[in-house]
Amino acid sequence: MFNFLINPYKFNKFVDIIFKPLVILTLLVLTAGLFLVYFSPLDYQQGLTVKIMYIHVPSAWLALLTYAIMTIYSIIGLAFKIPFSFIINKAIAPIGAVFTILCLISGSMWGKPMWGTWWVWDARLTSVAILFIVYLLIIFLNQTFENREVREKTIAIFILIGSINLPIIKFSVDWWNTLHQTASISKLSAPSIDMSMLQPLLIMTIGFSMIGVIIAILRIKAEILLRKKFL
Amino acid sequence: MLLINNLSFSRNDNIIFQNLNLSLSNRSIAQIRGKNGSGKTTFLNVILNFLESKTGEIFWEGKNIKKNIFNFYNKTTFIMDHNTCTRKMTVLDNINFWSRLSSSKLTKDEIVLLLETFNIQKYQNTKTMYLSSGEIRKLELLRLILEQKKLWILDEPYNHLDDLSIEILNQTFIDHINKDGVILFTSHLKPSINNLEVVDL
Amino acid sequence: MKLIQKIFFFFNREAKLFYSNIGDLFSNILFFFLSIFIFVFALGADEQLLRNVGMGIIWSLLLLSSTLSLRKFYEDDFNNSVIKIIHMGGMSYELIVFLKILSHFFFVQIPFLASIPIACVFFNLPINEVYNLILTFIIGSFILSCLGSISASMNLLNKTNFSIGSLIVLLFFIPVIIFSIGTNNSESDFNSLISLLLGIALIFLGISPWSSAAFIKLALRNK
């Protein structure tokens, strides 16, 4: 059933069916999200700037999620020797990089009015900046080696080593005293965020991830076409 | 002694050579001939296991070389088409390094005598980078005698050599064959050696 | 027994090569001192400020100036195929890589140690910081040699983007720098930081011969 996740032919077939509905759905979700954000209440302390959250938080989550997906596919690719996973690694790395830079930029735009500074060297911010550098290195590594197999394996191993950074990012706010606030939403306890703000946030997250999926689909299809003769 | 069975090699789906068979017994010498780009150097590299063959096996003294690779290397001298001497070291340092690496039993006087036959003894303490390409080639060929191995594999040994050196080299080949040796080399020339087997690629 | 002799002569050769381009080492050390001067000129000659930032600046400049020499790690031996000859002499690629790392550590990194006390004089560092700096640099430079071996062997396969190797070295060196500078902090435990550094060095000692040898084999195959 989930074979389309590791088989390029099934992936192509599956994607051809869902692509157009997905685009329409994405547009609907994004419009709904924007409306909800527009009518969402202002924060009693932060005022209007709280609305940066609706871009900052989804892009941060998706930056981490993209890297986690790449890690899983690296393990699959190295352990079971499935070339499709390397295609995905190559295709979604720039998407993750864009989400990370979006998170950093929106974060510093939020930080300026709230903390009074564009950038602080605290654990959360620094580790996300390192994540961005890791993404860039993965993209550069994709353009270096001539030998395709070596390149793919090297990148997969590099991704695996870089995944040490993920738990550091996630728990940095708990482990160290940072300026950045701790997570408001977690699985174990009730969210400490108000329902009227949680709803647009979740809708925006869904919308963002759908944009990511659409771009990923386009990039993966292009990559498959490029390599068709090797698969 | 050297048996090559059904060897083929391809690079990026281009077949360089296929189904090559060759058997060399003791006291034999074989030359590989072929056009430019016909895969002579590649063939030698496949024999020495620096390149992975697509099919086929290579046996040395009845043993598959892939399983006893260091045993095979221990009996082989490989002269490449380019020079492997370190350009920043003197001639004598290079020779010392090679002889230690192959645990050679030659004494210092014998080495000096060798240098004299090739007429490069006056450069003993000169850095290799100041030698001419013919002299560097002669220095490289000294490894044949220095390492005292049974199987000689040479890639274009006659490059850059003058007539006198070519004659000395041919004489060295004949001496080695008479001492139960095996020689395999590539060249465009047609050297005057008796009992020369020719393999066309 | 023969292998030990061969290893000895491998080091002998490395030493000769090192003395033939000793100018390289001196220019690296000169780079280190010049950049210290530039830092001091850029920061201003405030004694207290220089004492506070001294160890960090010295560590990062040491890192940068010793990465200058990393590119030549395997290049010469690979281009004239000496590595094949050494391999045919009965050493596996893993052993060659290990010996190369050791010789790089002894012949390139250790001479930097002599320049550290002089650099510390410029910043008026207290004596215990100089001691910490030297101790952490010995461990850190060994890690740098291992990392440099990996990145240099990667560069053999790579014909377009040469700076990527040094970028990866710098990225993986971030934790080493953090732990090394941490030894100066009076709150943190000195022994545990040193054992962390030693642990990282052991991990890289395990990884780098294996991975560099794999890269070198592939590079020889594609040559």
Task: Count Cβ–Cβ pairs < 8 Å, chain B vs chain C.
Answer: 60
**Which CA distances in Å does A25 have to A28, B184, C20, C113?**
5, 71, 69, 63
pLDDT score, position A211 = 93
**Which CA distances in Å does C183 have to C11, C131, C178?**
34, 10, 9
pLDDT score, position C112 = 85
Q: Does A177 touch chain C (CB under 8 A)?
A: no
Identify which of C16, C88, C89 has the shortest CB distance to residue B93.
C16
The sign one gets for the Cα dihedral C93, C98, C101, C102 is negative
pLDDT score, position A105 = 94
pLDDT score, position C158 = 78
* Helix then strand then coil, % of chain A, to nearest 5: 80, 0, 20
Task: Give A-chain residues touching C185 at CB under 8 angstroms.
Answer: none
pLDDT score, position A187 = 55
Average pLDDT score over residue span A23-39: 91
Q: Does C88 touch chain B (CB under 8 A)?
A: yes
Query: What DSSP string runs through A32-80?
Result: HHHHHHHHSPPBTTTBGGGGGHHHHHHHHHHHHHHHHHHHHHHHHHHHH
Q: How far is CA C132 from the centre of its chain?
A: 18
Q: Does C81 touch chain B (CB under 8 A)?
A: yes
- pLDDT grade, residue A185 (50/70/90)? low
CATH code of the domain occupying B1-75+150-201 = 3.40.50.300
pLDDT score, position A29 = 93
Task: Give B-chain residues touching C82 at CB under 8 angstroms.
Answer: 84, 86
ipTM, 2 dp:
0.89
Task: Count Cβ–Cβ pairs < 8 Å, chain A vs chain C.
Answer: 34
- pLDDT grade, residue A45 (50/70/90)? confident
Counting beta carbons within 10 angstroms of the beta carbon of residue A1, is it exposed (0 to 12), middle (13 to 18) or buried (19 or more)?
exposed
Cβ of B73 and C90 within 8 Å? yes
Q: Does A146 touch chain C (CB under 8 A)?
A: yes
Task: Give C-chain residues touching A147 at CB under 8 angstroms.
Answer: 157, 218, 222
Give the pairing type, strands B2-11 and B14-24.
antiparallel
Q: How far is A10 from chain C (nearest CA, A)?
A: 33
- Alpha-carbon span A50 to A137, nearest angstrom: 33
Indicate the domain borders of chain B: 1-75+150-201, 86-144
- pLDDT grade, residue A210 (50/70/90)? very high
- pLDDT grade, residue A191 (50/70/90)? low
Q: What pLDDT, in 10s, does the model give residues A99-142?
A: 999 999 999 998 888 888 888 888 888 899 999 999 999 999 88
Identify which of A133, A143, A147 has the shortest CB distance to residue C160.
A143
Q: What pLDDT, in 10s, does the model give residues B28-40?
A: 888 888 888 888 8
Cβ of C81 and B100 within 8 Å? no
What share of chain A in percent tops pLDDT 70?
93
- Alpha-carbon span A15 to B191, nearest angstrom: 66
Strand partners, A47: A43
Indicate the domain borders of chain A: 10-39+48-179+195-230
- pLDDT grade, residue A159 (50/70/90)? very high
A68 pLDDT more than 90: yes
User: Can you list the residues of chain B whose pLDDT is less than 50?
Assistant: none
Residues 6+ apart with CB under 8 A from B20: B4, B6, B7, B8, B43, B56, B201
DSSP 3-state assignment of A169? Answer: helix
Q: Of chain C residues 154-183, which have a CB less than 8 A from chain A?
A: 154, 157-161, 164, 167-168, 171-172, 174
Q: Does A150 touch chain C (CB under 8 A)?
A: yes
Identify which of C6, C12, C221 has the shortest CB distance to residue B51.
C221
To test the contact with chain C by mutation, choose from B16, B50, B75 the residue with the greatest count of C C-beta atoms within 10 A, namely B50
Identify which of B76, B86, B103 has the shortest CB distance to residue C2.
B103
- Alpha-carbon span B139 to B161, nearest angstrom: 11
What chains are in contact with A, requiring at least 3 Cβ pairs below 8 Å? C
- Alpha-carbon span C44 to C27, nearest angstrom: 25
User: Can you list the residues of chain C whose pLDDT is less than 70?
Assistant: 223
Task: Give B-chain residues touching C85 at CB under 8 angstroms.
Answer: 78, 84, 98, 101
Q: Of chain A residues 157-176, which have a CB less than 8 A from chain C?
A: 158, 161
Q: Is B155 within 8 Å of B166 (Cβ atoms)?
A: no
Tell me the one-letter amino acid at A7: N
Nearest-Cα residue of chain B relative to residue C79: B84
Indicate the domain borders of chain C: 2-222
For chain A, the average pLDDT equals 86
pLDDT score, position A204 = 92
Cβ of A147 and C218 within 8 Å? yes
SS (H, E, C) B75-123: CEEEECCCCCCCCCCEHHHHHHHHHHHCCCCCCHHHHHHHHHHCCCHHH
